[in-house]
Amino acid sequence: MPSVADAIIRSLHDAGVATLFGVPGGGSNLDLIEAAAHAGLPFVLTATETADSCVRARRASSVEIA
């Protein structure tokens, strides 16, 4: 039986999410990261929420970070 984390990752994948970004705090976050790895969904670890938003913005083709 799939775990809750597996179901969440499957839903994200089905919705077109190609990459996960974040600052894991432990607990269930780590379960999601592990489920993503098993599903082949990359996780980008960032040091802070600000760094997270910069990485996301930079990956968008219409946004430049200076």
Angle at which helices 28-39 and 4-14 cross, to 10°:
50
pLDDT in tens, the chain (66 residues): 889 999 999 999 999 888 888 888 877 789 999 999 999 999 988 888 888 778 777 776 655 554
What pLDDT is attached to residue 62?
A: 55
What pLDDT is attached to residue 38?
A: 95
Q: Distance of CA 33 to CAs 21, 48, 64, 65, 66, Å?
A: 10, 17, 28, 27, 30
Are 32 and 56 a contacting pair, CB within 8 Å? no
Please name which of 35, 44, 45 lies closest in space to residue 13, comparing C-alpha atoms: 35
